[in-house]
Amino acid sequence: MTNTNTHSEPEITIGISACLLGEKVRFDGGHKHHNYIHHTLGKFFRFSPFCPEVAIGLSIPREPIRIVLEGDRNNPVQRVVGTRDPTKDFTQPLLECGDEQQHWVRNLCGYIFKKDSPSCGMERVKAYQNEQPTRKGVGLYAQQIMANNPLLPCEEEGRLNDTQLRENFIERVYVYARWKKIVASGISAQGLLDFHSRHKFIILSHNQKRYRELGKLLSNIPQDNVEAFSDDYILAVMSVLKKPSTRKNHINVLQHIQGYLRPHLDCIDKKEMLQAIEDCRLKDAPLTIPRTLLRHHFRKHPDDYIAKSYYLSPYPDELNF
Ligand code: SF4
């Protein structure tokens, strides 16, 4: 595998609904193989496939199940029951199944769920309220995995077809993997400051105000309680990154980084650089163009701070497509 990323990246394991990798575990005995996930993401991530419905003892094939919403109309309770025999209730087994997976899920850097599944869907799953279909459901297994692992980047396969959401998920997976790596080697106040500094431009591309707030927070790291502090810090970072970055923020970041090259570029290089950034702003051109151009110039005119930053290579280049 070719990895053109300039940083050495940790090995990354992602949880995934097993049917997305082609395992024939669905209620009808089929699968939902996803080519991009399996063959493109699969070059960079190791997958841990899991089917909660099979794990709770359901057969293949089996009677399909569905979500029903009961009780208060505005605050209903979800139950997962058989579509033909609603007395078969799988609510508790699915919730417990989610809780029981912590021993391996805690080691993951991301999770890809199958959309629309009453077990695996993350959101907007079909759910029946007084026999009327709504899109208010959340797959019960996915719900527990997300609740028990608030830092874990999670996404559905359908949303990965959207470039912005795909980039956002991959970026978060890599940020989280780097975080886990520094935690594994022992978190320190200096380690925390380094992490923040190396991710400064990534955080800025999501939310400038939150970046400044996090900076203020880090000016007061309690030396006797770095671990608890770092838990709050990473929770704040991962929640900032959850909302996709905006083009406007990227342009600001790119212009800022370009400023480091000002003394070194001649008029032609400067014009080319400005044009690449302008094309991102006006024509929605891919960010890889100015990022690659900047990397090219920084190879010729190295800068220690930029070399440590992850912004120009947030993940391997091959994942940009
Ligand atoms: S429970 Fe999840 S993994 Fe199993 S078949 Fe349904 S969507 Fe796929």
The 46-50 sheet, strands edge to edge:
46-50, 13-17, 110-113, 154-156
pTM (2 d.p.): 0.94
Atom from ligand 1 closest to the CA of residue 114: 7
The pLDDT assigned to 284 comes to 79
Total structural domains in the chain? 2
Atom from ligand 1 closest to the CA of residue 27: 5
Within 10 Å of residue 213's Cβ, how many Cβ atoms? 13
Closest CA to 62 of 101, 19, 30: 30
The pLDDT assigned to 282 comes to 85
The pLDDT assigned to 183 comes to 95
Between the CA of 176 and the centroid of ligand 1 the distance, in Å, is: 25
The pLDDT assigned to 203 comes to 98
Cβ-proximal residues to 246 (8 Å cutoff; 6+ apart), any chain: 205, 206
DSSP classification of residue 114: -
Whether residue 98 lies inside any domain: the answer is yes
What is the distance between the alpha carbons of residues 136 and 96, in angstroms, rounded to a whole number? 21
What is the distance between the alpha carbons of residues 50 and 48, in angstroms, rounded to a whole number? 7
Give yes or no for residue 245 CB within 6 A of ligand 1.
no
Over residues 90-146, the pLDDT tens digits come to: 999 999 999 999 999 999 999 999 999 999 999 999 999 999 999 999 999 999 999
Last residue of a domain, one of 139, 161, 183: 161
Whether residue 188 lies inside any domain: the answer is no
* Residue 254 and residue 149 share a domain: no
Last residue of a domain, one of 161, 186, 206: 161
Atom from ligand 1 closest to the CA of residue 26: 5
Over residues 204-262, the pLDDT tens digits come to: 999 999 999 999 999 999 999 999 999 999 999 999 999 999 999 999 999 999 999 99
Whether residue 94 lies inside any domain: the answer is yes
Confidence label for 320 from pLDDT (cuts 50, 70 and 90): confident
Which amino acid, residue 45?
F
Between the CA of 237 and the centroid of ligand 1 the distance, in Å, is: 30
What is the distance between the alpha carbons of residues 248 and 246, in angstroms, rounded to a whole number? 5
Last residue of a domain, one of 127, 161, 195: 161
Give yes or no for residue 65 CB within 6 A of ligand 1.
no
What is the distance between the alpha carbons of residues 168 and 206, in angstroms, rounded to a whole number? 10
* Residue 154 and residue 46 share a domain: yes
* Residue 139 and residue 27 share a domain: yes
- Owning domain of residue 28: 13-161
Give yes or no for residue 120 CB within 6 A of ligand 1.
yes
Cβ-proximal residues to 72 (8 Å cutoff; 6+ apart), any chain: none
Give yes or no for residue 19 CB within 6 A of ligand 1.
yes
* Nearest residue (CA) to ligand 1, atom 4: 51
Whether residue 6 lies inside any domain: the answer is no
User: What's the mean per-residue pLDDT of the chain?
Assistant: 94
Element (H, E) at 46: strand 46-50
Between the CA of 47 and the centroid of ligand 1 the distance, in Å, is: 15
Token output for 278: 């302008």
Closest CA to 173 of 15, 8, 4, 7: 15
What is the distance between the alpha carbons of residues 150 and 148, in angstroms, rounded to a whole number? 6
Whether residue 257 lies inside any domain: the answer is yes
The pLDDT assigned to 9 comes to 61
Over residues 274-317, the pLDDT tens digits come to: 999 999 988 878 899 999 999 999 999 999 999 999 999 999 99
Give yes or no for residue 58 CB within 6 A of ligand 1.
no
Give yes or no for residue 53 CB within 6 A of ligand 1.
yes
- Alpha carbon of residue 73 to chain centroid: 32
Token output for 160: 């990965």
Whether residue 106 lies inside any domain: the answer is yes
**In this structure, are strands 132-137 and 125-129 parallel, antiparallel, or unpaired?**
antiparallel
* Residue 17 and residue 149 share a domain: yes
Between the CA of 59 and the centroid of ligand 1 the distance, in Å, is: 12
